[in-house]
Chains A and B, each alone.
Chain A
Amino acid sequence: MLWSIIKFEIRYRLNRPATYIYFFIFFLLAFLAVSWEGLQFGGDIGKIKQNASSVLFSIASVFGLIPGMFIASAVMGVPILRDFEHKMESFIFTTNITKTSYLLGRFTGSFLILLIISTGFFWGGYLGCLMPWVDRSRYLPVSLGQFCWPWLIMIVCNMFVFSCLFFACGALTRKMLFVYLQAIVLLALYITVDSLAGNIENMNKAALIDPFGNYTVQAVTRYWTVAEKNTLIVPFSGLLLINRLIWVGAAVVFLLVTFVSFRFRSVYTGVFKKKSRKSKNAAIPANQTIPFIKPVYNTSTWLKQVTVLTKIYFKEIFRSVPFIGMGLVGVVLIAVNAAYASTFYGQELYPLSSNIAAFIASQVGLIISIMVLFYSGELVWKERDVRFNQIFDALPASDTVPVISKFLALSAVLLVYLFFMIPIGMLIQLFKGFSFIEPGVYIKILLLRVYVPMLIYTAMTLFVQSLSSNRFIGYAISILFYIYILFANQIKVFYNLFIPNSGQTGPYSDMNGFAAGSEKFWVLKAFWIGVSGLLLVIAVLFYQRGTDNSLRTRLFNSKQRFRRPQVIVTLICLLLALSAASYYYINTNVWNRYINPQQEMDIHAAYEKELKPGYEKMPQPSVVNIKGQVDLFPENGDLNMKATITYKNLLPDAITKLFLQSPEDNNFNFTKMDFNVPAKLVKSYPDYKVKIYQLITPLQPGDSLELQVAGNRIQKGFVNGTSDGSYVNNGTFINNGDFLPFIGYQNQYELPNTDDRKKRGLKEQKGLAPRTDTIARRYNLFAQRGRTRLDMVISTAPDQIAMSPGYLKKKWIQNGRAYFEYQMDQPIFNFFNIISGRYTVKQSKWKGVNLEIYYHKDHPFNLDVMMQSLKDGLDYNNTHFSPYLYRQMRIIEYPRYRSFAQSFPNTVPFSESIGFVFRRRPEKLDMCYYVTAHELGHQWWAHQVCEANTAGAQMFSESLSQYSSLMLLKKSLPIEELRRYLKYELDGYLNGRSAERKNENPLDQTDNQGYIHYQKGSLANFAMQDYIGEENMNKALRKLIANYANGDQYPTTDVLTSYIREVTPDSLKYVVDDLYSRITLFENRVISPTAKKVKNGYEVIIPVQAVKYYADRDGNEKRTPVKDYIDIGIFAMVNDKEKLVYLKREKFSSEQRIFNITLKEKPIRAGIDPVYKLIDRNTEDNTAVVEIP
């Protein structure tokens, strides 16, 4: 019996084309995932092989979600349901089938089919890897076996879980809607997991509850290096095993519940009963004549018809279960994720209206697009679905009425839903204790970022559905259409007019709104609105009316329907679309130069090929004086400048040629370039904006020459690519490279990505020169030599303040513009900025140094923290290193289109999104304080001591600035909190190394590798000062300053490590090597610590294990004997808080040790390296709860 039901089910499925389509979808996606660069999962990291176990696991876990979950819902939701839908239940329930064999048979049959469908994963993946066009070097030897393991653990498991859930839901509710809703709930759970995982402290939680196992795989493999990813097999143990067990367990429970509670009889009508309404009875009047009215047909009839139909559809959607369900899911998502809405490094942000509105937009975006997709189909097929179409189609309403009403109804529903989100957002703000609420910001962000694009999608999907011959084909085409939009860039479609619904508002800045991209946004949207109008007209023309819908009839009808109103609307829309498109074209291709990212890379490659051989090593003079004037026109992004630049030959050889590079900015051009010595333009490379001048008399060492330049930036219109938001109405922020010539070949213009280089015939980019390269050592971090004097006059809009490094000499108003003159009284590196905006100023003083913060009036939150950080930092650095060089220090806010802080001499532009909106919580790490201190640190580490431009360079400017700020944190934070911060740094480092595209270098060889010189730099410097003492560390740094500050000597990292070595006792000299010159990893763990009560306290027994590895540059590890000093620590409760009450460094000479420690307090947790000073991939097991029998 059971077997025949299974067979029946399988045969039923095999007869359906959908089964093969599903298989093909799996097959195709897997095929593309391994063989096409456009679709990559965790494998886009240069050296990781496309069929490495970790990559295949990632692919498999993503496929569990898309398409897995959707296919599972389609296959598993229906086996029972379909009997009810086709009213077959009475036939089946009256046969002698037993309930169990009925349910089990249907389940098993469908599930087997689902398994077969999912094997598309390994067939597609396997064949994809074998395709002749793929680059063999990017694959491990291919075998079918590789694919089986991820298939089994990820896909089969997921399919089983979904099968149980969907089967149960379908059988019990007998409504497909609930099956879909369940899928959406799972999706919502996934999004929640996604936000959880944003905070690394929750990573394990996220890994356990992720129903798709995606984050579980990520959690397991997140710290794997490239070498490990290519060799290790993802282990089916630990988190992954537990996650799978949890979900399979939950699924089995669901299945059991279904078996128990399924009613094997047909009168059961599902979980919802129909309500019936009674109306007041009234006597039936005797035969009276019907008061007929003569119908009226005119424009107002049309309007009323549209209104009444829109109302009907609106109500239909609004009361329907999927809408309520999806809507609630959206609300729940927002409610659940609100807590994590605004965090950065675990740091909370102020819930400004712009933050919360952007958060809401990101949360509901997916749900609203699903609504659009789903209800476009529902509405277009509504009348047919309920079989009202014959009456409806014979109504005296024009063909435009239903199409327009459907569009309007869906638009209205979305609008209501979005507006409903506004009070929710405000509530979140209030709950977070923040009452500065800006309704206008909500409206702006939600309307522009979500609503307008969704209206266009609505028109597009309605069009697709109206033309399709059946709803599911319509859905499929609409989904393909979404996919095309998502992957347009991957398939190398860049021009926005070819990417449907293109046009993004970009980030919202409180200083500037959407200013950075609003014109382009509206032009593109106007284009798409025009196109949508045309699509809706076509939808009207081909709208299916009546019972005969053959293509011929519809074509014939469409001609008939193309009457005056349609023609007029078509013309208007066409006019709108064409004029928007032409205007767009004029902007991007006529007023500006259009090149796509590929061509741009070609140019960079050509620059390198053509110029590097001849000019890279050519000696060039240094900038020693700049006197100039810059006129900013913030209202339109224009700029005029003139400057006199003095170049001096600081090299031992005579200079014969000058390599002058104009700013890359296509809007900027020099109009004048005059030397005060005879010079001849010998070569011009307009593609790269490079000019080569021959000096008639070579410039001898110590000699100088003057260059007079004048230039302007004329911003006309916009470009196809994204603009970086440097030039904006309020908060223009540019640096010297944007308006002054560079001198010499610029390594920074080379293509960095190895794959992109390979395609253009270039080898992997050479990193920084070795430390022994004497030529390279002549140049500093900025690839320059020497320092310059600076005297700038800047003019700007009259209500703005403009700034550059230097002291304000004079300010005045002239011709309705504000002028400022700034002068540096000592030379600085040729690296400075200009900034201009409408600012409020906060002032303070520290020992005669003027401290100023220029901020946007609505962002006063952290001014005190910033001031405090500046003062503490000045105190610390002055005391321990050297006097501050300047008489002022300024922090200036700029719009959040870019998000970094950058330290110029006595001037630090700080993005709106960093620091200014960080919310401080007592006892927690204060990022604003920390970042400010870091930037202040650069006033020493970069502006006083500047490293040579050789391997390891940023270990000075960045790692030491990290050190400066970390030392402030160390003073102000309890160790338990500091430890949280170190863990973030540790996570950042380990993640960074696992995503390394080239080679991981030791810290003293870091080569523009942020995770090394920021994160590992923090950890290493912290550990170093911890081993040898802060004062010793500072002594070494003082020596560095004494020998290298403020001169033309640039240190290399071996200098720094040797200074540190000098202050380190012999027993700890190995630490200097381990931290700075090697890649060292530990596996420290505690094994069941115990304690027993003794007199005056507790005796704690802590068995620990420490394993040490050295890794090579590819990530291969070698175990090495432990002869290290490592901390042992014990936590106890002090005033209801876990405190580290015992911390002692112990010498290890073997991997295993047991410690006996007597302690007054009652121990809670104990273990090894509790503060995370050493690099350890699993810090969870460093400490454990102490068992006290």
Chain B
Amino acid sequence: MQLIIQHLSKTYANGVQALKDINLTINAGMFGLLGPNGAGKSSLMRTIATLQDPDGGSIRFGALDVLHQKEEVRRILGYLPQEFGVYPKISAEDLLDHLAVLKGILHRKERKELVTSLLHKTNLFNDRKKHLSGYSGGMKQRFGIAQALLSNPKLIIVDEPTAGLDPAERNRFLNLLGELGDDTIVILSTHIVEDVKELCTDMAIINRGELLMQGNPLKSLESLKGKVWSQRVSREAAVDYKERFHVISDKLVGGKPTLHVIADSQPEQGFELVQPDLEDVYFSYIFGTPSHHHTV
């Protein structure tokens, strides 16, 4: 099954154009949606998750018209929003059980097994009686994925799930995502490139509401092969370099800026060719020239 997004646009009442003519086709598997904060990722995710309507365009999921058959879409949807809270005075187990009912799982005994299994899966079983208000960030996210999985969804949307998690929690969470079935579409939005690198077979980059690229992460690396140059410079010199070259990233390594520049040949003495990583791909699109706007 495919999720096909066509000509999707949205402008908010305050004038912000969150989505500009987005076209995307997403296949089963893990799909990474990369983009900086405010790029329009959440707007896109919420639109797919039936939470808001676009101004124009269409979204189809298999035979379903997502924008008009919301009820049907919600039945096969698992959604983990970027930020969420829960009713304060209810335990994880109870809430999960109640949510299962709301998701149409009516048989009491089966439901109980499902909930128990998901709690085990998300490693929350020992904390199942705790009130959710007492959960740590990572536990809450794991609870979030547990509730998203309840109805064995065909479409799973997880919005910035790793933001604010410590590395161990993040790994645990990504492992969990990684186990999801192959016949499911999982859309993972994030601004952390590593997440995509580790999990996704397909990805897209959006910025300021525009789709900058869509493609296989590995293939996109190919396209930058031999084009990424790096040099450590002094802080004072960095400004000057940024004016002269097409600097896509500027990271401090050991307190000194390390610049990455895209160029077909060595831009200047001192630059070394480096193996491009996904971050370079990402930055090349975010800070890159418009000529790169293609599907690779």
A296 adjacent to chain B (CB < 8 Å): yes
Given contacts A397-B102, A546-B52, contact A278 B129 (CB under 8 A): yes
Interface status of A1161 (Cβ within 8 A of chain B): no
Confirm or deny: B74 has a beta carbon within 8 angstroms of a beta carbon on chain A: yes
Whether B86 contacts A277 by the Cβ 8 Å rule is no
Q: Tally of A-B residue pairs with Cβ under 8 A?
A: 146
Q: Does A284 make an interface contact (CB < 8 A)?
A: yes
User: Are A304 and B101 CB-contacts (below 8 A) given A295-B75, A296-B106, A312-B90?
Assistant: yes
B147 CB contacts on chain A under 8 angstroms: 391
Residue of A nearest to B126 (CB): A281
Whether B102 contacts A284 by the Cβ 8 Å rule is no
Residue of B71, B118, B123 near A284 (CB, 8 A) is B123
Q: How far, in Å, is B285 (CB) from chain A's closest CB?
A: 27
Which residues 24-68 of A sit at the B interface, judged by CB distance below 8 A? none
A556-589 interface with B by 8 A CB criterion: 556
Q: Which of B109-117, B193-201, B224-232, B242-250 contacts A (4 or more CB under 8 A)?
A: B109-117
- Taking the closest CB of chain A, its distance from the CB of B143, in whole angstroms, is 10
- The answer to whether B293 has its CB under 8 Å from any CB of chain A is no
Q: Contact at B74–A394, with CB atoms within 8 Å?
A: yes
Closest-by-CB residue of B relative to A392 is B102
Q: Determine if A435 is an interface residue (Cβ-Cβ < 8 Å).
A: no
> What string of 1s and 0s marks CB contacts (under 8 Å) between B60-86 and chain A?
000000000001001101011101111
Give the docked Cα–Cα distance between A86 and B208 (Å).
30
A-contacting 9-mer, from B130-138, B233-241, B262-270: B130-138
> Do A391 and B87 have beta carbons less than 8 Å apart?
no
Query: Known interface pairs A276-B134, A296-B104, A546-B46. Does A284 touch B125 (Cβ–Cβ under 8 Å)?
Result: yes
Q: Which of B91, B103, B118 has the most CB of A within 10 A?
A: B103
Q: Are B106 and A300 in contact (CB under 8 A)?
A: yes
Residues of B within 8 Å of A397, CB to CB, are 74, 102
Q: Are A396 and B90 in contact (CB under 8 A)?
A: no
Among A282, A300, A307, the one with the most B-chain Cβ atoms within 10 Å of its Cβ is: A282
Number of B residues near A (Cβ < 8 Å) is: 55
B50 at the interface (CB under 8 A from A): yes
Contact B129 A279 (CB under 8 A): yes
CB-based contact B71/A396 at 8 Å: yes
Stretch among A249-257, A285-293, A926-934 lining the B interface: A285-293
Q: Report the minimum CB–CB distance from B75 to chain A (whole Å).
A: 4
Q: Which residue of A274, A308, A309, A550 contacts B133 across the interface (Cβ within 8 Å)? A: A274
- The distance in angstroms between the C-alpha atoms of A243 and B119, with both chains bound, is 61
User: Is residue A137 contacting chain B, with contact meaning CB distance below 8 A?
Assistant: no
Contact B114–A290 (Cβ < 8 Å): yes
B169 at the interface (CB under 8 A from A): no
Distance in angstroms between the alpha carbons of A304 and B105 in the assembled complex = 10
Check B127 for interface membership: any CB of A closer than 8 A. yes
Whether A308 and B85, one on each chain, are in contact in the complex, defined by CB atoms closer than 8 angstroms, is: no
Complex partner residue of A279 from B74, B77, B121, B127, CB under 8 angstroms: B127
When the two chains form their complex, are residues B49 and A394 in contact, meaning their CB atoms are under 8 A apart? Answer: yes
Is B256 part of the binding interface, using a Cβ–Cβ cutoff of 8 Å?
Answer: no
B130 contact from A276, A295, A315, Cβ within 8 A: A276
Q: Which A residues lie within 8 Å of B50 (CB)?
A: 393-394, 546
Query: Which of B102, B111, B144 gathers most chain A CB within 10 Å?
Result: B102
CB-based contact A396/B74 at 8 Å: yes
The contact of A386 among B53, B86, B125, B134, by CB within 8 Å, is: B86
Do A316 and B49 have beta carbons less than 8 Å apart?
no
Does A297 touch B at the CB level, under 8 Å?
yes
A308→B101 contact, CB < 8 A: yes
In the bound complex, what is the Cα–Cα distance between A56 and B221 (angstroms)? 82
In the assembled complex, the CB of B104 is this many whole angstroms from the nearest CB of chain A, namely: 3
User: Considering the chains assembled together, what is the distance between the CA atoms of A361 and B112 in angstroms?
Assistant: 43
Closest chain B CB from A644 CB (angstroms): 78
For B114, what are the chain A residues with a Cβ–Cβ distance below 8 Å? 290-293
- Tell me, rounded to whole Å, the shortest Cβ–Cβ distance linking A293 to chain B: 5
B216 at the interface (CB under 8 A from A): no
Which residue of A is nearest B123, CB measured?
Answer: A284
- Which residue of A282, A288, A550 is within 8 Å of B126 (Cβ)? A282
* A390 CA to B45 CA, complexed, in Å: 11
Would you call B104 and A297 a contact (CB within 8 A)? yes
Complex: A291 Cα to B115 Cα, angstroms: 9
Query: In angstroms, how far is the closest chain B Cβ from the Cβ of A323?
Result: 12
B89 touches A319 (CB 8 A): yes
Choose one: A307, A395, A553; the contact of B99 (CB below 8 Å).
A395
Nearest-CB residue, chain A, relative to B80? A391
A390 touches B51 (CB 8 A): yes
| A382 → B minimal CB distance (Å) | 8
Assess whether B151 is in contact with A295, with CB atoms less than 8 Å apart.
Answer: yes
Say yes or no: is A724 at the interface (Cβ < 8 Å to chain B): no
Contacts of B88 in A (CB 8 A): 386
The answer to whether B131 and A277 touch across the interface, beta carbons within 8 angstroms, is yes
| Chain A: CB-nearest residue to B146 | A290
Partner of A291, one of B46, B90, B98, B110: B110
For the complex, what is the distance from the CA of A396 to the CA of B102, rounded to whole Å?
A: 7
A393 CB to closest chain B CB (Å) equals 6
The residue of chain A having its C-beta at the shortest distance from the C-beta of B82 within the complex is: A390
How far apart sit A284 and B85, CA to CA, in the bound complex (Å)?
Answer: 26
Q: Please, which residues of chain B bring their CB within 8 A of the CB of A386?
A: 85-88
Assuming the A-B contacts A279-B128, A394-B50, are A301 and B90 also in contact, with contact meaning beta carbons closer than 8 angstroms in the complex?
A: no
Whether B120 sits at the interface, judged by CB under 8 Å, is yes
Knowing A290-B121, A291-B117, A297-B104 touch, does A277 contact B130 (C-beta < 8 A)?
yes
A279 CB, min distance to chain B CBs, angstroms: 4
Q: At the interface, yes or no: A398 with Cβ under 8 Å from chain B?
A: yes
A395 touches B85 (CB 8 A): no
**Residues of B close to A291: CB separation below 8 A:** 110, 113-114, 117
Q: Which of A295, A387, A553 contacts B105 (CB 8 A)?
A: A295
CB of B212 closer than 8 Å to a CB of A: no
Pair A308/B98 contact, Cβ less than 8 Å: yes
B151 contacts across to A, CB distance below 8 A = 292, 295, 396
**Residue in A closest to B13 when the chains form the complex, CB atoms:** A550
A547 and B52 contact, Cβ closer than 8 Å, known pairs A277-B130, A296-B106, A300-B106: yes
Residue in B closest to A282 when the chains form the complex, CB atoms: B125
Indicate if B107 sits at the interface (CB-CB under 8 A).
yes
Contacts of A278 in B (CB 8 A): 129
Residue of B nearest to A552 (CB): B13
**B27 part of interface (Cβ distance < 8 Å):** no
Chain B residues with Cβ under 8 A from A316's Cβ? 87, 89-90
Q: With an 8 A cutoff between CB atoms, is B258 at the interface?
A: no
A390 touches B130 (CB 8 A): no
How would residues 270 to 294 of chain B score, 1 for a CB under 8 Å from any chain A CB and 0 otherwise? 0000000000000000000000000
A284 and B104 CA atoms in complex are apart in Å by: 27
- Rounded to whole Å, the gap between the CB of A219 and the closest CB of chain B is 46
**A390 pairs with B118, CB closer than 8 A:** no
**Does B23 interact with chain A (Cβ within 8 Å)?**
no
Instruction: Tell me if A369 is interfacial: C-beta within 8 Å of chain B.
Output: no
Report the minimum CB–CB distance from B28 to chain A (whole Å): 17
| Residues on B with beta carbons closer than 8 Å to the beta carbon of A556 | 53
Chain A to chain B contacts (Cβ below 8 Å), 21 pairs: A276-B131, A278-B129, A282-B126, A290-B114, A290-B118, A290-B152, A292-B152, A293-B110, A293-B114, A295-B105, A295-B152, A308-B98, A386-B85, A386-B86, A386-B87, A386-B88, A388-B87, A390-B49, A396-B71, A396-B102, A556-B53
Q: A277-B129, A305-B101 are in contact. List 5 more A-B contacts (CB 8 A).
A: A290-B152, A291-B117, A295-B104, A388-B87, A390-B84
